[in-house]
């Protein structure tokens, strides 16, 4: 009689094991159906997300002195670009780029130019610009002033981004 009980327990163990496998397979089938039904909208969301992160390829133009460049509500004219090793008693760590700009804007506007090379950028050196006293600050109407950049030696190709606040993709090649 002990043998019959043993056989009966083994039978229930096998059946319980089959039940667990059946429930697991059933859960997998439900998960697959859920992914198939709602997976298309998720892939659409993934497509939207990945395209939003793509960077815009910059448009590179050659330097043309005196040419009007329109950015938003402002118009820029590059009048002059000088490269100097020193400006008055200041010595550059690389090369000073002294850029004379005319900016025209009907609304109050603060130009934010940068010199870029690859992913690196250099902001104007405001200390040196203040010594000259002809700094482009807030512009309303027509203003001409200078921007001085201390460009490091390791910048191979130098571009001017006239205004980073517009996130514009137009770069002007300076060398």
Per-residue confidence in pLDDT tens, the chain, 175 aa:
555 555 555 555 555 567 778 888 888 998 888 777 765 554 554 554 454 544 556 677 788 889 998 888 889 999 999 999 988 888 888 999 999 999 998 888 888 888 888 778 888 888 888 777 677 777 788 888 888 899 998 888 899 988 877 666 778 888 7
Tokens 């009907």 sit on residue? 106
- The pLDDT of residue 83 is 92
Alpha helix locations (H) across 116-171? 126-132
Q: Nearest-5° angle of CA 89, CA 91, CA 94? A: 160
Cα 60 from chain centroid (whole Å)? 17
Tokens coding 101: 């700009």
Please state, as a whole number, how many other Cβ atoms lie within 10 Å of the Cβ of residue 94: 16
Pick from 175, 171, 69, 87: which is nearest to 125 by CA? 87
Tokens coding 87: 């400006």
* Burial tier of 174 (Cβ tally within 10 Å: 0-12, 13-18, 19+): buried
How many angstroms separate the CA atoms of 65 and 46, rounded? Answer: 45
- The pLDDT of residue 1 is 54
Does the predicted model carry a pTM greater than 0.85?
no
Asked if CATH classification 2.60.40.1240 holds for the domain at 59-173, the reply, yes or no, is yes
- The pLDDT of residue 85 is 92
């Amino acid at each position: 009689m002990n043998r019959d009980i043993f056989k009966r327990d083994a039978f229930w163990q096998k059946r319980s094991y089959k039940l667990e496998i059946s429930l697991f397979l059933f859960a997998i089938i439900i998960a697959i159906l859920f992914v198939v039904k709602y997976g298309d909208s998720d892939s659409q969301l993934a497509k939207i997300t990945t395209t939003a992160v793509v960077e815009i390829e910059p448009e590179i133009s050659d330097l043309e002195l005196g040419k009007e460049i329109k950015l938003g509500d402002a118009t820029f004219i590059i009048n002059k670009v000088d490269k100097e090793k020193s400006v008055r008693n200041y010595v550059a760590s690389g090369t000073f780029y002294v850029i004379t700009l005319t900016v025209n804007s009907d609304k109050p506007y603060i130009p934010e130019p940068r010199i870029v090379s690859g992913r690196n950028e250099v902001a104007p050196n405001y200390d040196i610009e203040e010594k000259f006293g002809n700094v482009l600050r807030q512009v309303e109407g027509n203003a001409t002033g200078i921007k001085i950049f201390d460009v490091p030696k390791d910048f191979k190709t130098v571009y001017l981004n006239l205004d980073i606040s517009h996130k514009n993709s137009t770069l002007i090649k300076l060398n």
